[in-house]
Structure 1
Amino acid sequence: MNILKITTALLALWFIYKRVIEKEQFHVFIDFIKQKSQSPQTIFYILFVTVMMFVNWGIEAIKWRLLVMQLWPISFKESFKAIFAGATISFFTPNRVGDFAGRIFFLPNKVRLPSIIATFIGNLSQLIITLSAGLFCSAFFLSEYFQWSGALITFTKFAACIAGIGLLAAFPFIKYIAYLPPLQRLKNKYNSYITLLENYTPRQLTYTLFLSLLRYSVFSIQYLILFCIAGIHISPTLVAVVCLIFFVQAVIPTVAITEFAFRGSVAILVAAPFFTADNEIITASFALWLINLALPAAIGSLMILNAKFQNNSN
């Protein structure tokens, strides 16, 4: 296990370092920081956004702990470590689906596989918030992207709002899919998974959704502050653009270690009808990627290196 920890941590650190340093945008970002370093206000904002990264992942740790407590009484401290370890593994997987692989090492063997359900529910709640926010915002800005007839635009806006409301309303009752005949027939084989899903109450799932909304608000504010630092003034339109950027990024699979180019392209494409400051958009997008994904992945590799993983005896 020690060899696995050391190998995983060192490889992760090396890959992260290479991927960040090799990016041309990293050096552009450093030059940008040097230019802005004369302003104490800018330095404060950058530090504030960095601190918000810990708040962001701290909320995720609270959410995951809430869901995992059905299986194992994990502490917030261990949950926080697990979240960062998951960020490291997920840095190399499409749409960060590998985060459970880092998290499960902080749980006893007997609950590791069932905990995948807890991670899935937490990730699904975050996705639903992202999709719903994007759908609501798209309802107001569809005409800026598509030259459709008035009737079609009106219908699409209405459908987007209904879809967003439907996703939010349905999530607290997702546990009831466990009672569908196909899943009940699998219960003998996958009892721990299905039972865990059945045990979540609508109240717990609603609270999970609230935590996801809180986390979404945190990284949206981070993005808005970074846009402001880059020279784009915060406005209701920019808020909607940020929601639409997250929406598009969520529905297209990417790998975090290579996704910055994709993120930057999406940000420019979505913002195009409203803003033409491509360099500023790229800078803000890279800064968010660096602070919210690359930095946590690096921290997580150290968590893995120093972790005392749960063993078979637990």
Structure 2
Amino acid sequence: MQVLWISLTGTEWWKLVAVLLLMLVNWGIEAKKWQFLLQTIQVIGYTKAFKAVLTGQAFAINSPNNVGEYVGRMMYLDEGNRLRSVALNMVASISQLVITFIAGIAAWLYLKHIGIEALGKLSDAVQYWLQNMLWVIVLFTVVLVFVYYNLSGITKLIEKLSLVKKYSYFFTNIATLNWKELTTVLIFSALRFVIFLLQYVLMLQVCGVHENVLVLVCITAVFFLVLAIVPTIALAEVGIRGALSLQLFGLVSSNMLGILFAATGIWLINRILPALAGSMLVLRIKLFKK
């Protein structure tokens, strides 16, 4: 605890400020990505897109795997476009998932390559996902990338099904996305992921976990990979994050308290603060309507 207090009040304080500023950049990029995707159905300003993203976090905080995010983002669109935006939000989510999986797989293979002996000390559950299921995850990632870049063709095939034909209006806009636009969305997602990694490494250093930066980056990428696989609710996520952080970062550091504080700090900054800001926006909308 003393080491943590010294880090927060000493020369490391600027890193905490950087993490907070990077949170704004992170959601700013997500807002730009959302604005970019929405142009297929409705042109909105960047400020409105940013508000929509924060409002989405307010709804996502109590929902499994952030499904409530769709509801929050709808609130800033015209009546006829709200349901149509759900498909676009799925595209945004898939793009982020693709980056998370690719980076996580690459990071895990690198950690095995450099031969961290402590990898064998992981719990059975984590070992199962990261070793026995590695090739399943690789196969799933390949399929996910294929689906992502063939959304137009897949959408056209789905439209031909009689059961969904009358609902095709809600996802036909996906068919207009070409590979350049999909790649642009993927780049936005990659930038967000880089920020996630940077935030986590900085927060670990703030909390007194000073190890090889590249190793910390790789472990963080694996950490996000496992989080993407495990279904959870955002409010319960802090417990899972803490336990998983101790498992993974505990491989290279004995500062368990610092690891736990870093996981909790990132959760508060990246999930709770945006959700609180989004809640205030929701309240403002309700008051305005009244």
Superposition TM-score, scaled by structure 1 size: 0.79
Q: 1:309 to 1:218 in 2, by over 3 A?
A: farther
> CA shift at 1:95, angstroms?
1.7
Structure 1: how far apart are the matches of 2:13 and 2:254? 25
Match in the other structure for 2:222:
244
Q: 1:48 to 1:189 in 2, by over 3 A?
A: same
Q: 1:124 to 1:145 in 2, by over 3 A?
A: farther
Match in the other structure for 1:177:
154
Picking from 114, 117, 122, the partner of 2:84 is: 114
Structure 2: how far apart are the matches of 1:259 and 1:157? 23
Match in the other structure for 2:125:
none
SS at match of 2:66: coil
Picking from 255, 262, 274, the partner of 1:296 is: 274
Q: 1:199 to 1:145 in 2, by over 3 A?
A: farther
> Contact between 2:4 and 2:208, CA under 8 Å: does it hold in 1?
no
Which deviations, in whole Å up to 9, do the C-alpha atoms of 1:248-296 show, x marking residues without a partner? 0111111111210111111112234333322111111011001000111
> Contact between 1:105 and 1:309, CA under 8 Å: does it hold in 2?
no
Structure 2: how far apart are the matches of 1:103 and 1:167? 24
Picking from 125, 137, 159, the partner of 2:107 is: 137
Match in the other structure for 1:3:
none
Query: What percentage of aligned pairs have identical amino acids?
Result: 28
Match in the other structure for 2:203:
226
> CA shift at 1:232, angstroms?
1.8
Structure 2: how far apart are the matches of 1:125 and 1:57? 15
Picking from 38, 44, 49, the partner of 2:9 is: 38
Match in the other structure for 1:96:
66
Q: 1:154 to 1:282 in 2, by over 3 A?
A: closer
- AA aligned opposite 1:86: G
Structure 1: how far apart are the matches of 2:103 and 2:133? 15
Superposition TM-score, scaled by structure 2 size: 0.85
For structure 2, the 5+ residue unaligned runs are: 123-129
Picking from 239, 243, 252, the partner of 1:274 is: 252
Q: 1:65 to 1:308 in 2, by over 3 A?
A: farther
> Contact between 2:197 and 2:221, CA under 8 Å: does it hold in 1?
yes
For structure 1, the 5+ residue unaligned runs are: 1-27, 148-152
> Contact between 2:48 and 2:76, CA under 8 Å: does it hold in 1?
yes
> Contact between 1:226 and 1:288, CA under 8 Å: does it hold in 2?
yes
SS at match of 2:234: coil
> CA shift at 1:172, angstroms?
2.6
Query: What RMSD in Å do the two structures reach over aligned CA positions?
Result: 2.9
> Contact between 1:63 and 1:122, CA under 8 Å: does it hold in 2?
yes
Query: Does 2:253 align with 1:253?
Result: no
Aligned residues: 275
> Contact between 2:8 and 2:206, CA under 8 Å: does it hold in 1?
no
> CA shift at 1:141, angstroms?
3.5
SS at match of 1:93: coil
1:150-165 map, 5 Å: 164=141
SS at match of 2:160: helix
Match in the other structure for 1:78:
48
